[in-house]
């Protein structure tokens, strides 16, 4: 009751453009360059097409998120949407599955940053950069340092500037190198010798760049006319992000056809040097690392907050996960756990670790689409007035696309994801005394 009162007094100050900018900043568009090499390799050099395929799945899912954000303004996650549409047990399991996203996201961010610094400074082993990222961000999160909103705006402007410059340099290089015959404009989207399975495998990796489009669903209470602006913003973020990713990947493929890279984990570094020389490489590397560092701080803090919420609500042992440092007022054990998990990056590559994240994401996206269809068919809430297309057909298209992408992930990720889900079922059975009691509710 106390939390409800607090929420009811939140001032509505955010308009559509503010919410849209928040979502784009959270998505960090520059991330397209961090995974370009592994995506180009997995998709058979059809990275732009893979981003387009992923966009189709994401847009339909974004529409479902928008509908649920309108129906449940106090909710903001697949966990709570599934809980309301189906039941508490299934909601818990979807929340458990998305823990993979939270745990592995900081690790992927640190891994990408280390790969690019390793390409720039090959004399320094990659593990040094990984450990440096983990230790630095962990210390900053423990002492409670936050990235200010103004810095996020500056960071966003810097990312867009680098994106525009990189795209322009790629086009200039490609047009200069093409000669009288001109550029092969359709090549980044279609290659007759590339099987459809490779394109969807690439799309499964490409979806990583879209993660975060749904984050604005938590801003409902602070948004002016949220029933209109939140759904529009969620879809707008997905579409704008998709356009950015497709244009960036398309431009790099024109400038550097094929998948021959010294290191696929830092492929964009090679392309940047090829089209812009040492000066642009320095600018690009600085921008990417700053963006990665800021994202790493935020992602690790999110893990800490999630584990703290689960400890506070006694889903996990409260003595450890619900502990707050008396001086710093931060969940130090949880942040340390997130940092320790991040050290797995010493033994993993970008492709595998990204797939781990996408398993939980695709499962959550599938349940969001299924939740809309379930509510529509049951005639509950406003969704029954949205018609057959908005309440059933579009969510089903999103569901099929998400499941297809889920099954297109590499086998290791699927095995780990299924194993993690099975552990969640066993843990749920234990805390509910073989499902005879409802699971505790977590404020996510």
Q: Quick one: pLDDT at residue 76?
A: 64
Q: What confidence tier does 269 reach under pLDDT thresholds 50, 70, 90? A: very high
Two tokens, residue 251: 């431009």
Task: Please check whether residue 19 is in contact with residue 230, taking contact to mean a CB–CB distance below 8 angstroms.
Answer: yes
| Gap between the Cα atoms of 295 and 329, Å rounded | 21
Q: Quick one: pLDDT at residue 385?
A: 58
| Gap between the Cα atoms of 68 and 375, Å rounded | 10
In the predicted model, is pLDDT for residue 247 greater than 80? yes
Q: Quick one: pLDDT at residue 15?
A: 84
Tokens 């998948």, residue located: 259
Length of the chain in residues, anyone?
444
Mean residue pLDDT across the chain? 84
In the predicted model, is pLDDT for residue 6 greater than 80? no
Q: Quick one: pLDDT at residue 8?
A: 40
Q: Read off the pLDDT of residues 417-436 as tens digits, 9 standing for 90 and up.
A: 999 999 999 999 999 999 88
Q: What confidence tier does 148 reach under pLDDT thresholds 50, 70, 90? A: very low
Q: What confidence tier does 196 reach under pLDDT thresholds 50, 70, 90? A: confident
In the predicted model, is pLDDT for residue 325 greater than 80? yes
Q: How far is CA 94 from CA 79, 91, 213, 441, in A?
A: 6, 5, 18, 13
Confidence (pTM): 0.84
Q: Is 14 helix (H, G, I), strand (E, B) or coil?
A: strand
Handedness of CA 288, 290, 295, 300 (dihedral sign): positive
pLDDT > 70 in the chain, percent? 89
Mean pLDDT of 280-296: 86
Helix axes 411-431, 88-120, angle to 10 degrees: 140
Q: Quick one: pLDDT at residue 41?
A: 92
Tokens 């938590």, residue located: 218
Q: Read off the pLDDT of residues 39-95 as tens digits, 9 standing for 90 and up.
A: 999 999 899 999 999 999 999 999 999 888 888 776 567 888 898 899 989 989 998
Q: What confidence tier does 388 reach under pLDDT thresholds 50, 70, 90? A: confident
Task: Please check whether residue 61 is in contact with residue 227, taking contact to mean a CB–CB distance below 8 angstroms.
Answer: no
Q: Check residue 60 and report its DSSP letter.
A: H
Q: What confidence tier does 282 reach under pLDDT thresholds 50, 70, 90? A: very high
Domain 13-431, what architecture? Answer: Up-down Bundle (1.20)
Two tokens, residue 129: 């950069």
Q: Check residue 390 and report its DSSP letter.
A: I
> Which has more pLDDT, 3 or 170?
170
Q: Quick one: pLDDT at residue 299?
A: 80
In the predicted model, is pLDDT for residue 315 greater than 50? yes
In the predicted model, is pLDDT for residue 277 greater than 90? yes
Two tokens, residue 360: 């939980």
Q: Quick one: pLDDT at residue 75?
A: 58
**Domain map of the chain by residue range?**
13-431
- Burial (CB count <10 Å: 0-12, 13-18, 19+), residue 327: exposed
Q: Quick one: pLDDT at residue 7?
A: 42
Q: Any idea which of 201-205, 274-278, 385-389, 409-413 has the lowest mean pLDDT? A: 385-389
Which helix (H) or strand (E) segment holds residue 67: the answer is helix 47-71
Q: How far is CA 151 from CA 13, 120, 143, 146, 361, in A?
A: 20, 26, 19, 10, 28
Two tokens, residue 24: 């784009």
| Gap between the Cα atoms of 271 and 252, Å rounded | 7
Return the closest-CA partner of residue 117 out of 274, 330, 265.
Answer: 265
Mean pLDDT of 129-146: 83
> For residue 344, how many other CB atoms are within 10 A of its CB?
15
Q: Read off the pLDDT of residues 184-195 as tens digits, 9 standing for 90 and up.
A: 666 677 777 888
Task: Please check whether residue 96 is in contact with residue 424, taking contact to mean a CB–CB distance below 8 angstroms.
Answer: yes
Q: Quick one: pLDDT at residue 422?
A: 96
Q: How far is CA 218 from CA 159, 210, 294, 400, in A?
A: 24, 17, 20, 26
Longest dimension (CA), the chain: 74
Q: Quick one: pLDDT at residue 37?
A: 92
Q: Any idea which of 34-43, 162-171, 302-311 has the lowest mean pLDDT? A: 302-311
Task: Please check whether residue 281 is in contact with residue 200, taking contact to mean a CB–CB distance below 8 angstroms.
Answer: no
| Gap between the Cα atoms of 397 and 408, Å rounded | 17
Mean pLDDT of 99-113: 85
Mean pLDDT of 108-136: 90
């Amino acid at each position: 009751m106390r939390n409800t009162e607090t929420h009811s007094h939140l001032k509505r100050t955010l308009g559509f453009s503010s919410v849209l900018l928040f979502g784009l900043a959270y998505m960090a568009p520059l991330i397209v360059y961090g995974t370009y090499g592994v995506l180009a390799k997995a998709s058979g050099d059809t990275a732009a097409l893979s981003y387009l395929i992923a966009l189709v799945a994401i847009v339909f899912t974004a529409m479902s998120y928008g509908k649920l954000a309108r129906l449940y303004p106090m909710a903001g996650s697949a966990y709570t949407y599934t809980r309301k549409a189906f039941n508490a047990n299934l909601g818990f399991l979807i929340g458990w599955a998305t823990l993979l996203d939270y745990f592995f996201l900081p690790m992927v961010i640190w891994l990408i940053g280390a790969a690019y610094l390793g390409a720039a400074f090959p004399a320094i082993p990659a593990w040094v950069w990984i450990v440096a990222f983990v230790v630095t961000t962990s210390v900053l999160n423990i002492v409670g340092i936050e990235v200010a909103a103004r810095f996020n705006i500056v960071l966003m402007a810097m990312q867009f500037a680098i994106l525009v410059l990189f795209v322009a340099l790629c086009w200039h290089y490609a047009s200069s190198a093409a000669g009288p015959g001109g550029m092969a404009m359709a090549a980044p989207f279609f290659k007759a010798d590339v099987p459809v399975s490779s394109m969807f495998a690439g799309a499964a990796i490409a979806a990583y760049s879209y993660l975060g489009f749904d984050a604005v669903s938590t801003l409902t209470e602070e948004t002016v006319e949220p029933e209109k602006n939140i759904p529009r913003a969620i879809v707008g973020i997905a579409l704008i992000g998709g356009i950015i990713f497709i244009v960036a990947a398309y431009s790099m493929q024109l400038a550097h056809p094929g998948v021959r890279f010294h290191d696929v984990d830092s492929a964009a570094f090679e392309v940047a040097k090829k089209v812009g020389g040492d000066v642009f490489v320095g600018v690009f590397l600085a921008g990417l690392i700053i963006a990665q560092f800021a994202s790493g701080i935020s992602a690790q803090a999110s893990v800490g907050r999630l584990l703290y919420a689960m400890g506070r609500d006694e889903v996990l042992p409260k003595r450890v996960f619900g502990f707050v440092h008396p001086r710093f007022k931060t969940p130090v054990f949880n942040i340390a756990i997130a940092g320790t998990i991040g050290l797995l990056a010493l033994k993993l590559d970008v492709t595998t670790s990204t797939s781990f994240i996408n398993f939980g994401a695709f499962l959550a996206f599938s349940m969001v689409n299924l939740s809309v269809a379930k509510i529509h068919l049951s005639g509950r809430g406003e969704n029954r007035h949205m018609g057959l297309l908005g309440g059933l057909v579009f969510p089903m298209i999103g569901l099929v696309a998400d499941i297809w992408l889920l099954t297109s992930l590499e086998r290791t990720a699927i095995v780990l994801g299924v194993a993690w889900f099975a552990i969640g079922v066993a843990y749920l059975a234990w805390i509910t005394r073989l499902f005879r009691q409802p699971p505790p509710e977590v404020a996510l």
